[in-house]
Amino acid sequence: MEFIEACRQLISLDSTPSHGNKEVARWAAAFCRQRGLQVEEQEEIVGDLEQVNIIARHSSERPGAEFLLQTHLDTVDPGPFSLWTDTSANPFEAHIIDGKIFGLGSADVKLDFLCKLEAMAQFKGRTDWKLPPVLVGTFGEETGMQGALKLIRKNKIAAKMAIISEPSDLQLITAAKGFASVEIRIPFSAEEMTYRQEHNLRESTSTQSKLFRGQAAHSSTPHLGESAIVKMMEYLMMLPDSVNIMEIDGGINFNTVPSHAFLEIDMNSQFENPIAKRIASIYRALKTLELEFLSHRDNDFHPSTPTLNIGLVRTNEDDVQITGTCRIPPVIAHETYEGWMDQLRQACEANGAVFRVNDYKKPFRTETTSILAKGCLDELRNMGLNDKPISQSSTNEASIFSRVGIECVCFGPGKREGNMHTPRENVAIADLEKAVEFYKKVIERFCI
């Protein structure tokens, strides 16, 4: 199978959070076997979805130490299909335009798996390894990195060093922010729930609706997007506290700057402490925390401060759910992070809301003087590519693997800014080819 056709097929397979990655993992496993690798499949049930990690080696025997080449096979939700104008309104249908492949997962990071596989396949039949390479495709990176956690807990690999897939525009990432995924649930009062039910059953009712539009971006770089939810919240702050919220909705997931939001209100209020007033109070607490972030800087990163993104707002039967992320650079002490979370918890409890941290991943930093970082930078320099190490504001599996003593760096084809988590996601074919060559040189340097 030609490389480009493999790219098309991989993009066509849905591995979004609501679908799971079983189908794409089975395809990738079969393709690895076709290229001469021995594959183990680690099956897991997460919620009601079947998920699969695939582990591909040159030998069926597991070594005592190995070099990990890791890629997650899941993607974010694409959002409204109509926004994917470069792929005929279908994010799963790859299009090639001006030497670039457009489609969901093209840059983040499904096609990088094929780059690693292509490099691995060029060493088919080799047995004289000093540090055998292992190619791993994981599930659930976009929803908590469950696949990487399962891999470690079940002791499926013995990695000493690792290159973790991340769109980096072919630059080496040696540090990344951590993140906290937080959820706030603000309950409707019993009177509000009764009123909303009766209101919906009346033949003649009157409400006001407003649609807000923004620009999607990855939650780690909120300054590159325009949050429709923030626009909606600022609008809500200008309304009387007494308005009734009939429906409030925005975003597609906690990890993306939301491009759309919707608010439906009823101006006739009869409640003492309506939910609109409590939502506004919690939003003010979030803005206060954002101001506090500005006094904590780590100049290795851009943006240099911690950041906050409200990615998702949903109206449920008995409450309003707000979900978002905080990005934490390595310079922030854990005690400071915990203080911030406690500050938000107190603001929520003061408004009768429930606050919880659904997930927390620590930041990571690998010294640029390490053997792995220096070797990778040398190879990039020899290829005529940028050999200046960079940091990233998002978080990936390097946070997980580095905690168990695996020396990690991140690398991948595809631009981050204005590309990841947007309907224009794409990667240059020439960059895919350069990534294959880089991985081949890394294997030659560290594994043979």
Do both 248 and 120 map to the same domain?
A: no
Residues 241 and 288 in one domain: yes
The pLDDT of residue 203: 62
| Same domain assignment for residues 109 and 149 | yes
Co-location of 324 and 305 in the same domain: yes
Give the containing element (helix H, strand E) for 318: none
What is the CATH classification number for the domain harbouring 164? Answer: 3.40.630.10
Residue 404 Cα distances to 155, 176, 279, angstroms: 11, 16, 40
In single-letter form, the type of residue at position 145 comes to M
Of the candidates 96, 88, 139, 79, which has an alpha carbon nearest to the alpha carbon of residue 420? 79
Check whether residue 118 and residue 249 sit in a common domain.
no
Three-class DSSP category at 351: coil
Same domain? For 27 and 145 the reply is yes
Domain that holds residue 191: 178-361
Q: To 10 degrees, the CA torsion angle through 33, 39, 43, 46? A: -80
The reply to whether 50 and 170 lie within a common domain is yes
Q: Are residues 280 and 305 in the same domain?
A: yes
**Each residue's pLDDT tens digit, 57-88:** 999 999 999 999 999 999 999 989 999 999 99
Asked if residue 37 and residue 157 are part of one domain, the reply reads yes
Which of 338, 361, 384 is the last residue in one of the domains? 361
* pLDDT at residue number 262: 98
DSSP 157-174: --EEEEEEE---TT--EE
Residues 373 and 335 in one domain: no
- Of 343, 361, 379, the position where a domain reaches its end is 361
H or E, element range at 321: strand 319-328
- Residue 55's SS3 state is strand
What per-residue confidence (pLDDT) applies to 88?
97
The pLDDT score that the predictor gives to residue 420 is 87
The segments of the chain whose pLDDT lies below 50 read none
Q: Domain check: are 372 and 320 in the same one?
A: no
Token couple for 227: 């949050």
How many domains, the chain?
2
Note whether 156 and 206 are same-domain residues: no
Domain boundary among 311, 337, 361: 361
Amino acid residing at 257: V
Q: Which two tokens stand for residue 8?
A: 């098309």
Q: What is the largest CA-CA distance in the chain?
A: 79
CB atoms within 10 A of CB 226: 17
Q: How is residue 35 written in tokens?
A: 């290229």
Who contacts 51 (Cβ-Cβ below 8 Å, separation ≥6)?
Answer: 20, 21, 22, 25, 43, 44, 45, 139, 140, 146, 147
Residue recorded with tokens 């972030």: 293
